Amino acid sequence: MNVDQLRELLPVTRDFIYMNTGWAGPTPTSVLSRIAETLEKEAALGPASARGVAFAHDIQDEARAAVASLVNADEEDMTLTHSTREGVNVVLYGMDWQPGDELLICDLEHPALTSPANVLAERMGVKVISVSIPPLSQPSETLNLVTSALSKRTKLVALSHIQYTCGLRIPIKEITSAAHEMGIPVLVDGAQSFGQVEVDMKDLGCDFYALSGQKWLMGPVGTGALYVRRERRGMLEPLFSTNTLETGRESTQRRPLARFALVSQSPGISAGFAEAVRLATDTGIRQIERRAMSLSNLLRERVAPIDGCNLLSPTSPESACGLVTVSLDEWPAEELVTTLQDRFGIVGRTVHGPDGVRFSTHFFNTESEVDKVAETMVKLATEGYQPS
């Protein structure tokens, strides 16, 4: 699939320069069609009939297998969730924390990770170690900062593969290797990586990997998956049950990771998830990654010389990705993102720490759109911020 073919499936591209995929990707019409077709078939079969239940199970299996294939994981090591946040919570709240245990995160993390970390601190006496990582740091610097913070009390390392504020890539493979040398498991928040860059569970070696379907994959909201390394299954207790109770159900055909599912899932949404994975696979995840990076490089090159424009994202190939965060002198980030959308039809989002407007360059974006964003930033920098 080429750029023009994908844009034909994305109605939003007709009216907007959509660069907010890092929050939620636009849904392709083929995904919408698959959702509708599945819901219609479910209604015709009867959702609680024998055939309806079997149909729903087949859809879940299809989505799980598709995701597992895309991240090079065994299907038995994947379970479907409703979001990255859900997967992160399954792991964090499933562990046997004791007062004084340390959870290592970093100061660039999304609330999906920092919020449950703070809850663990308040409820269970967990000591949260938040490593300060500069947004423009190189992989070697990041690795050194994280590994230097590891201790005998560290029970888990939990980090995003790509930081949502600035697009900094974290050297997960190297951090995992260092943590494993000390017997410490690693949880990865893959919200900004899955669907944007190549993700390989067998290569990364991490123990848990939570991912989202609605961002770079452009699947439906309410989709995601969690990878659990087989050797770590017994490390987690199900949130709504216990391993002891679940063991009594092993004689059934229930999948081992099904114990971690929080609530049931709609076959229609899962079918849309599977379709989104198919589109990404047909396009080629490496091709998506190369184009996203090429467009983000072009955007960085175009905005860097603008007077009053501050580039807040990494530039090196090892640390950068399709997320580009910038700020304009005198412009509050919230006012800038609103002006871009209302006056120019450019959709980005506000982030904080660093404070700025974040643009997501995906496979479907174009060089002319990047040029338009840069030209608009020049215009706004020249006009200056004028409070209403």
* Euclidean distance between CA atoms 91 and 87, whole angstroms: 7
List, in order, residues 6 or more apart from 344 with CB less than 8 Å away. Answer: 17, 372, 376
pTM assigned to the model: 0.96
- CATH annotation of 3-27+284-382: 3.90.1150.10
Q: In what order do the strands lie in the sheet with 349-351?
A: 309-311, 323-328, 356-360, 349-351
Tokens matching residue 216: 């770079």
Tokens matching residue 255: 């999948």
The stretch 169-195 carries a mean pLDDT of 98
Q: Which long-range contacts (CB under 8 A, 24 or more apart) does 10-14 make?
A: 10/218, 10/364, 13/364
SS3 at position 153: coil
Cβ proximity of 272 and 60 under 8 Å: no
* Euclidean distance between CA atoms 237 and 243, whole angstroms: 6
Please check whether the domain covering 32-280 is classified as CATH 3.40.50.12280: no
* Euclidean distance between CA atoms 310 and 326, whole angstroms: 5
The stretch 287-309 carries a mean pLDDT of 97
Q: Which ranges in the chain belong to alpha helices (H)? A: 3-8, 29-45, 50-70, 84-94, 111-124, 139-148, 172-181, 201-204, 243-247, 267-283, 285-303, 333-344, 367-383
Quick one: pLDDT band at residue 68, thresholds 50, 70, 90? Answer: very high
In the numeric block, the tokens 């007077």 are attached to: 307
Quick one: pLDDT band at residue 244, thresholds 50, 70, 90? Answer: confident
pLDDT one-digit tens code per residue, 101-154: 999 999 999 999 999 999 999 999 999 999 999 999 999 999 999 999 999 999
DSSP-derived pairing of the beta strands 154-160 and 102-106: parallel
In the numeric block, the tokens 């800038």 are attached to: 336
Tokens matching residue 257: 């990771």
In the numeric block, the tokens 């900094």 are attached to: 168
Please name the amino acid found at residue 384: G
Q: How many CB atoms lie within 10 A of CB 173?
A: 16
Structural domain boundaries of the chain? 3-27+284-382, 32-280
Quick one: pLDDT band at residue 253, thresholds 50, 70, 90? Answer: low
Lowest mean pLDDT among 165-174, 231-240, 255-264: 255-264
CA dihedral 117, 123, 129, 132 (to 10 degrees): 50
Write down the pLDDT at residue 386.
Answer: 86
Write down the pLDDT at residue 228.
Answer: 98
CA dihedral 327, 331, 335, 338 (to 10 degrees): -50
* Euclidean distance between CA atoms 252 and 262, whole angstroms: 19
Q: Give the single-character DSSP code of 197.
A: B
Q: Give the single-character DSSP code of 206.
A: -
* Euclidean distance between CA atoms 202 and 216, whole angstroms: 21
* Euclidean distance between CA atoms 384 and 102, whole angstroms: 46
Write down the pLDDT at residue 98.
Answer: 97
> Cα dihedral sign for 29, 34, 36, 37?
positive
Quick one: pLDDT band at residue 254, thresholds 50, 70, 90? Answer: confident
pLDDT one-digit tens code per residue, 185-214: 999 999 999 999 999 999 999 999 999 999
